[in-house]
Amino acid sequence: MLQFSTWKRVLIWAFTALVLFMAVPNLFYPRVESHNDALKQIEAAGSTPELQEAVSAWPSWMPSGLVNLGLDLRGGAYLLADVQVEDVYAERMNGYWPEVRDALREKRDTVGAIRRVDGPVSELHVKIANPEAMAEAIETAKSISRPILSLTGVGSNDIEVTGQGDTLIVTLSEHERIATDDRTVKQSLEIVRRRVDEAGTREPSIQRQGETRIIIQVPGIGSAQELKDLIGQTAKLTFHPVVSRTSDPEANAGARNLVVPSMDEEGTYYIIEESFVVSGDELTDAQPSFDQNGRPAVSFRFNPTGARKFGDYTRDNIGSPFAIVLDNEVISAPTIQDHIPGGSGIITGNFTIEESTNLAVLLRAGALPAEMTFLQERTIGPELGADSIEAGRIATIVAFVAVLAFMWLSYGLFGIFANIALIINVGLIFGLLSIIGATLTLPGIAGIVLTVGMAVDANVLVFERIREELKTARGPSRAIELGYEKALSAILDANVTTFITAAILFALGSGPVRGFAITLGLGILTSVFTAIYITRLLIVMWFERRRPKTIEV
């Protein structure tokens, strides 16, 4: 156990130095934080002298990964949102109408003329001219139904069809409603996560609560309103043919047309066709840019399907206005000047650089499938976090000093070796936190303090075994060797069981519990590494240099 080949020594010290090097940015937190923020802003909206100065303030060859501070330490915003899943039902019914219409047209000789009539948003109402043929109309409409693939709805179909007088009524089946609600919330959850990630925020916590609610916690963001502005918009982009332009919001739009206000021109409204040519769902990319006049804009690109639709329409409608509609407001209604076959274009308007950047983020992330109502919102200032960090720092220092003093008084020179390894151990924890981008929470600080106390356990086991071996009149070299050999199994057994507990807490827990599990798990790994390798290597190097005839532990 006292034999360390040169390559093992080099590998141990190289690994230790690399991880400690990755922890260095945390010693210069404000400086590196401004450096990282400047890089994000340059990437999003271009460079300014101030941003370039912030970037140059931290050397490019140095690592810039920081330990992410959680909401309880850094401050930020908290939202509890409720997804209005009923909004999706109307879109589903609009999607079924063409299929029902085409199916019933084939039976026109029997059911007569058909037309869609108004009804609840969650139902599709179709009036038929021959009520006596309602049974056949129901069977025909049922032919478009599809089986549900979810486990809870196996064997059932996605729609239910009934008749009432001369009106055919199509609704979603109960199992399909449940599946639709679940898909809507999951899609909303994923889109919220993508929007927050696109904005460059650090380690958000976005979780589902109950059937239709989502909890969103984002550290480092300025206010709850700022977070709502980022994720609360549906960002539904569509391109519509323009019928006319008017100043009357109550103008008669006509069948299957809409009156939509202009975003930039107050008092101006557009009458557009309800059916869109192409939608934002077919976008593959959106980036902030500038138009030919140097004003902020958003450039976009469609996927092949959207590009074909966009190209065909612009080819056939040169000279006609074309409305770009975002969340039921016309951003702009340019006149088609030429055929646009490439599937790319630019959205112009009275944007600021920040607004064009945010719009590009929303479009890239996709449209929310349903509106979100915010039931709770809180802006958490960093003051509590600063107090918590200071309290945690004091607790760590007190624990550190107490453990260092105990080890030195109990084991003398060997205790000093253990103390050196303990200092390295804490540095390794912060280095690993920086490398994996984990979040440090207040319970995480508690995990580090606990690790400081637990880290010397392995050394205590080894040193006590060495003491026992010395009492049997064995030489120092043999006593040290047997001490490590006999204590190794106990060290591994004790730490493996604790690591399994930390892994379970991480897998099943959330929020503060996971924060504690992360630092506890990393602390166990670094403690075993420093005890088995660092402390032992320090003892071996000292023993090779001094060659003592006797030792005291």
Cβ atoms of 282 and 308 closer than 8 Å: no
pLDDT at 363: 66
Tokens read off for 552 = 């005291």
Torsional class of 276: left (φ above 0), alpha (ψ -120 to 50), beta (otherwise): beta
Three-state secondary structure call for residue 509: coil
Q: What percentage of the chain carries pLDDT values higher than 70?
A: 86
On the question of pLDDT at 141 being above 80, the answer is: yes
The pLDDT of 527-532, averaged and rounded, is 88
Residue 98: alpha-carbon gap to chain centroid: 37
**CA gap 100, 106 in Å, rounded:** 10
The pLDDT of 426-450, averaged and rounded, is 84
CA proximity to 459, closest of 432, 420, 498: 420
* Among 97-106, 133-142, 335-344, the least confident range: 335-344
Q: What percentage of the chain carries pLDDT values higher than 90?
A: 4
- 308-356, pLDDT tens digit by residue? 888 888 888 888 888 888 778 887 787 887 787 777 777 776 777 777 7
On the question of pLDDT at 55 being above 70, the answer is: no
Q: Whole-number mean pLDDT of the chain?
A: 80
List, edge to edge, every strand of the sheet that includes 76-83: 205-209, 213-219, 76-83, 372-380
- 193-250, pLDDT tens digit by residue? 877 776 655 567 788 888 888 988 887 777 788 788 777 665 677 888 888 888 888 8
- Residue 413, CA distances (Å) to 216, 416, 417, 430, 552 in order: 51, 5, 7, 27, 8
Torsion of CA 304, 310, 315, 319, to 10 degrees: -160
Q: Name residues whose C-beta falls within 8 Å of residue 100's C-beta, 6 or more positions apart in sequence.
A: 124, 126, 141, 144, 168, 170
On the question of pLDDT at 43 being above 60, the answer is: no
pLDDT at 14: 92
pLDDT bin (cut points 50, 70, 90) of residue 439 is confident
Tokens read off for 365 = 């992330």
Please list the helix, strand and coil fractions of the chain in percent, rounded to the nearest 5, in that order.
55, 20, 25
Kindly give the interhelix angle for 457-471 and 382-436, rounded to the nearest 10 degrees. Answer: 60
- 485-520, pLDDT tens digit by residue? 888 888 888 888 889 988 898 888 766 788 888 899
Kindly give the interhelix angle for 29-45 and 49-56, rounded to the nearest 10 degrees. Answer: 140
pLDDT at 155: 60
The pLDDT of 275-291, averaged and rounded, is 78
Three-state secondary structure call for residue 336: coil
Task: Specify the DSSP element, H or E, that contains 363.
Answer: helix 353-365
Q: Name residues whose C-beta falls within 8 Å of residue 204's C-beta, 6 or more positions apart in sequence.
A: 193, 196, 197, 216, 217, 218, 219
**CA gap 92, 450 in Å, rounded:** 54
Residue written as token pair 């109502």: 373
pLDDT at 45: 53
